[in-house]
Amino acid sequence: MKKLIIFLITTSLFVACNNKKKSESEANASMIEASQNGSLQKNPSTPHMLIVNYKLKEMSVEEHSALGANVAPNFTPEKIQGLIGKSFIGNTDTGVYGGAYQFNSKEAAERYITSEFWLGIEAHPNLVNFTKDIYAVPSFSNKSNGIWANRKTSSNPDDAAGMHLLVVKYNLKDMTLDQHYQLGVDVAPNFTSEKIKGFIGKSFIGNTDTGVFGGVYHFKSKEAINYYLKSEFWQGIENHPNLVNFTKEVYGIAPISTISNGIPIL
């Protein structure tokens, strides 16, 4: 069955690549939307994800939770220009915490991480080893409930109970950006709550400067993520010959994310 899934995904890619009806202008438009370089200025409304990670120093998990509750009201679209929403994330097993943000543009994400507000957070003595990664979110993410501005979200903390985030990253091997984009278009309709147990939504992500691509998924539970990663569907993706160096990171989502428009619901 795994071989069949790989065959179907690979076949759909090469059929799409050989489709003579796809004009050069359409291909260029796809590249512009998917890219993170200067040409993105031609499409300034492309949403972008910001993934922030850090560790704690001389701070307990309880103290960190209290800090999050205090600062959460500052993370709203009304207070941060261009912000659509933020999910506060953490993994107590690995000791990694942070946030998954979606902004309405690359410029908004970059403006945020150079703001005095952000620099104050990054200078906090108990938050260390920061990483900040920005990714474009292509429009076909809407087929997988991954354009946050179009999502239903909840302001009820109870709706966050058990919710987890999965961040997948990989590189390309012997595949062009345009071929990868078309593959995303082809497979996006498979990422729905009807087809994946416990699934809420996925934002396809990519950064052509670093060559890192992947997805940011919201699931109803950690168990749902484990089930997905063991599924034949996922195994077929991970064994695709042109997608390599996979990493998979799982985080819990704090209920305070409701304040920041970070709890999607179906």
Query: Where does the pLDDT of residue 82 fall: very low under 50, low under 70, confident under 90, or very high at 90 and above?
Result: very high
Give yes or no for residue 15 having a pLDDT over 70: no
Q: How confident is the model at residue 118 (pLDDT cuts 50, 70, 90)?
A: very high
Of the listed ranges 28-37, 85-94, 144-153, 178-187, the one predicted with least confidence: 28-37
Res. 169 pLDDT band, cuts 50 70 90:
very high
Residue 41: band (very low, low, confident or very high) from pLDDT cuts 50, 70, 90: very low
Q: Residue 86: helix, strand or coil by DSSP?
A: strand
**167 and 214 Cβ atoms separated by less than 8 Å:** yes
The pLDDT of residue 235 is: 96
256 CB contacts (<8 Å, ≥6 apart)?
Answer: 68, 69, 72, 88, 157
Which band of pLDDT confidence, cut at 50, 70 and 90, is reported for residue 188? very high
Measure the N-to-C terminal CA separation of the chain; round to a whole number of Å. 30
d(CA 127, CA 71): 14
Can you read off the two tokens belonging to residue 130?
């920061």
Structure tokens at 144: 């997988």
pLDDT-based confidence at residue 45 (cuts at 50, 70, 90):
confident
Q: Give the pLDDT mean for 111-136.
A: 97
Number of Cβ within 10 Å of residue 232's Cβ equals 11
Region 223-242: what's the mean pLDDT?
Answer: 97
pLDDT of residue 63: 98
pLDDT given for residue 105 in this prediction: 97
Range name among 22-31, 118-127, 227-236, 250-259 with the lowest pLDDT average: 22-31
Please give the model's pTM, rounded to 2 decimal places: 0.86
Average pLDDT over the chain reads 88
Is residue 47 a contact partner of residue 85, using CB atoms and an 8 Å limit? no
Q: Are residues 106 and 40 in contact, defined by beta-carbon separation less than 8 angstroms?
A: yes
User: Residues near 19 by Cβ (< 8 Å), separated by ≥ 6?
Assistant: none
Placement of tokens 């709706």 in the chain? 159
CA distance 42 to 105: 12
Residues contacting residue 206 through CB under 8 Å, at least 6 positions apart: 34, 36, 135, 136, 138, 180, 212, 213, 214
Residue the block writes with tokens 């940011």: 216
For the chain, list the domains and their CATH numbers.
2-265 (3.30.70.100)
Q: In 3D, which of 71, 45, 220 has the Cα closest to residue 137?
A: 45
